Structure 1
């Protein structure tokens, strides 16, 4: 299936050809039986749920976030913070992403931007109101079958802004970051606002959960055959990643190498995507024509009765 869009879908290593992407398939959580939703996650590696969260609650968190970042100068003067419009008169490099360098080495404006982006994780409108939204907690407890007592949202979350034309997220799967626990965690990706098809949203590799598990199994087999302990194998695997923890920065070449398409879509506030810990994903370059900053977060859930990655929590 091909998708008609106004312009190419760009990733870090260039545009994706129309034959190299297809539509991410949505599911209606109010209409599809729970057993079928579970089957879709298991078979496809992802579950794209339309309108699971109240739109107004997601937009309230978005407004609070950009109001919090506004003193850094990132927003277009006079614009409404909830719109998250980037001040396109400024250089994108003035507003670096979290983890791209040491804070003390940055210019004052960049320092304020990154400091506020980091401290936003602890603000109640995010850490409590969004991350622990009762609709999400109740759904995850039922969907996983873990129940309210065992369904644990990890405190470590990944709240990311994606400024137009900035470098996108590279190719990875989440077990890379949660290797000190069983591979049973579920990630919930929450777009905090509408995201245009070309606006920097997540993309998923078709059958990527199978390939991710294959990568992990092959490396584990080689590591054990060489005499490494489990702990040594975890460390060795991590050293084989790029410094950012990803498999590669280039989704286009990666998809071609493995003969798989990328699954893409536009998102609306209230949508969420669940994916398994081995599901390979990345993001596109934000080419939103209105200079909208993409804002989203990764929330991860584990079964507290089983071993989970407390090191990375």
Structure 2
């Protein structure tokens, strides 16, 4: 384990496990457990949890076999890069222990300003294949358009037939030991539309507690609204144009558009816990555009590569950020 990441004593974070983020080991008092919901609950209760918590974590929403089929397709595409352990199945997604993790960086982890290409030249093949997966029919036309996802968003939001799945999505992998996702809320990157979008974070496979899954700041949607209001005020005071204010990559933000690179320090600053959990294939978390979230570093005990996708939905009858009406590409400004 990476002792150099944190000066804190090596005290387990939760359930005997040590959860690391970009700026060190999370302390036990900095974490809580993400509240689980099931389809057995009435729709009104799911809607209440979404409003009050800023998220609703629904267990076993998608058929497990559909998720694992997508995972198998994904690693079938990435296998030529050498990322997988020889002799293992594609669907397992086991990282090659002989590989250099720096040659297999995750897309969209906030390491590149302006959504640039991650990694050095040695990572080119892997990164190109990870990008290409966004355009594959099994992903773009089948998985992203899974009717169960759209139906649940339509019910949660009340948008009914106006529910629209935005074309741009972010299919992220997180190989063991590599940089995790920094602290942010989605409206930062969706400011050209109303703050009403719904994000579905879909883990594509099982994610252990230490496997690099998303973590959510407790009552982070309320803090996110406060942060955005403060940002808007500062933008006006510093003379940013309307276009500059809408841009996530401006002088009042980190160059990556993130609120912070390190979740541990962010928790200390605002005195709020990070809510964590293990995920299973079929689980989905729906969250608001102001819900603050990040991820842990992937230290899965079995070297499993974490894969997940961010799918966003909007009310098509209202203004939404049309910059997202294309497939993901590097340096697209969002």
Match of 1:76?
A: 85
CA contact (8 A) 2:13 2:27 kept: no
Q: What are the within-5 Å matches in structure 2 for residues 1-313 of structure 1?
A: 4-29=14-39, 31-98=40-107, 106-108=120-122, 110-148=123-161, 150-225=162-237, 228-235=240-247, 238-313=250-325
| Deviation of 1:88 (Å) | 1.4
- Secondary structure at the aligned position of 2:20 is classed as strand
- Secondary structure at the aligned position of 1:219 is classed as helix
* Unaligned ranges ≥5, structure 1: none
Superposed CA offset, 1:275-306 (max 9, x none): 00000000000010100000000000000000
How many residue pairs match? The answer is: 309
Bigger drift between 280-289 and 212-221 goes to 212-221
Q: CA 1:221–1:32 in 2, change beyond 3 Å: closer, same or farther?
A: same
CA contact (8 A) 1:177 1:312 kept: no
Distance, in Å, in 2 between the alignment partners of 1:13 and 1:191 is 23
TM-score w.r.t. length of structure 1 = 0.94
Q: CA 1:104–1:167 in 2, change beyond 3 Å: closer, same or farther?
A: closer
CA contact (8 A) 2:105 2:174 kept: no
| Deviation of 1:234 (Å) | 2.4
Distance, in Å, in 2 between the alignment partners of 1:26 and 1:53 is 15
TM-score w.r.t. length of structure 2 = 0.88
* Unaligned ranges ≥5, structure 2: 1-11, 326-334
- Secondary structure at the aligned position of 1:286 is classed as coil
- Secondary structure at the aligned position of 1:248 is classed as coil
